Structure 1
Amino acid sequence: MLFRQLEYFVALAREKHFARAAAACYVSQPTLSEAIRKLEHELDVPLVRRGRAFEGLTPEGERLVARARRLLADHDALKDEAASLRTGLTGELRLGVVPAAAGTVALLSDPFCADHPLASVRLETSLRSAEIAQRIRAFELDAGLVHPDGLDTEGLAVLPLYEERQVLVAGSDLLPDPPERLDWADAAELPLCLLSSGMQGRQVVDDAFAARGLGAVPRLEADSVVTLMAHVGTGCWASILPSSWLRTLPPPPGARVVALDGPATTATVALVIGGGPSASLMARALAGTARAVRVTGPLAQLSNPGPGQGEP
């Protein structure tokens, strides 16, 4: 059995198409197909259901592809470990990030790159927590920044990083004389633009309104914080966002940042990696960086904005 055969098998399971899998492996389709046939012959079980095109994996293939991913991950980890002994940590860190943490991931990726100058980082910043967890288990990602509340983290190691705190960001025309704090009931009456339904950041806001017996119906939804900030910048919209975003995406000129009344509405952001020996060398190195730096430090001053913060 060759690692190349396992790579082709895993690529086919991922791409679900012979031609795309071959392209991903930089080989011809006949070469990939023949290698998988040889793997089936050696294992003496059918792995792929074939018709005129790829029709899925057999039950045996579904069970064995997880083992193949683990073998390939262990193989890569062995090579990375040997390389690190020679020259220091090398290779690529594959990091998945929920949209809410896209503005704070640099607090980890920057010191990681400083600690390991021969390593590179590939970020995917539009993933959901459940997808990140699944892809870490499938060895497609090394680590992720997620919302762990309600997330199935079986088999993963979880390192809490910080608590997001929700604040109101409003156009100057809406709050010409901003109070120090604003009631959630008053916020619900504003023309709101919020993150799209189903996103974790939106769920936090909806839960906060519901806990107070309120319901807010946004006039505009978007899957981008940048888009929400652009609407706030017109002066006619308000949004409720994690204060952590204000570190990298300052509010538009004239916009008001106001704390919301009552107990702080928070959501945990955590680093997740594979548990135990399944964690890659890159993931373990990132966890070491996360323990060494204090992510909460640069964010603490954003947790309780004063009245009118963001004014020119």
Structure 2
Amino acid sequence: MNLQYKGRSSSIQRFIMMVFVVGVVLILSACGESKGTEAKAEVEGKLQVVTTIGMIKDIVEQVGGDHVEVIGLMGPGVDPHLYKASQGDIKKLDDADIIFYNGLHLEGKMVDILEKLNASKTTVAVSKNIPEDKLLSDPNVGAQGHDPHIWFDVKNWMSATEVVRDTLIDEDAAHAEDYRQHAEAYLKKLQETDDYVRGQIQSIPENSRILVTAHDAFHYFGRAYGMEVTGLQGISTASEYGSKDVSDLRDFLIEHQIKAVFVESSVSTKAIEAVIEGAKKKGHTVNIGGELFSDAMGQPGTEEGTYIGMVRHNANIMVEALK
């Protein structure tokens, strides 16, 4: 009898413990679900925005503030000319309320995807309001092709900011005044940046205002701020270059007695190093003046991880090497 009682007692204790454990699990699960639901509701209350390049993501964060949730597909060091969307990217694009991209064939390998999505959701090229006569041509694309690197003229990026502002207002009129105020503050900072860069470049002796880079990303910069610009590769890094391109650029450096060339954070240094070596063999020493940010910004949390910080960094590096 005692053994049977002890057996029943143990069974009852195990049952009570099981009920207790299950209860705790259910309570914790309910709390987790509640927190998850709250977090989801917080995100769902915001506009879901996906951008291609980091410079556009920065605009949306500046103008959208707490009313937007932004995902950028292309991070630091990523070349948009060669970028291919993954299945994960397509899911992000499909879930977005708004998609912002540069346009002008910068995102060459994503054009078809973006055009298809445009039929079902708000898909906006931030370059759309830049007048035709303000766009530079790209001879590699044909008569109607344009250089897509519009952000190197800060005035163009002010136009892009206005496109983002107006799109957010159209999609979320309830927060229109916030978007206007944020945009106004950011546009003021952009104007200050434009003035700063202009002053920096003008401090370089006129005959030294020659910018040589790995690929032709800086023509808008050259036109806006008064520099002669040349690159080894074409406007798109997808374009090929050969030994003649290397030798032609080498001869250009020697002829103009250029002392510094620049590498880019999103472009391989191999080709520009071949040019430097070729000049050295001809008796002309060329140094790498520094790393510029061209098609991608710096790491998040750094000065160069913002559009304004990136532009100021580039101007400072040029001045330091060429002044």
Q: Which has the higher strand share?
A: 1
TM-score between the two structures when normalised by the length of structure 1: 0.28
TM-score between the two structures when normalised by the length of structure 2: 0.28
By relative contact order (CA 8 Å, sep 6+), the higher-ranking structure is 1
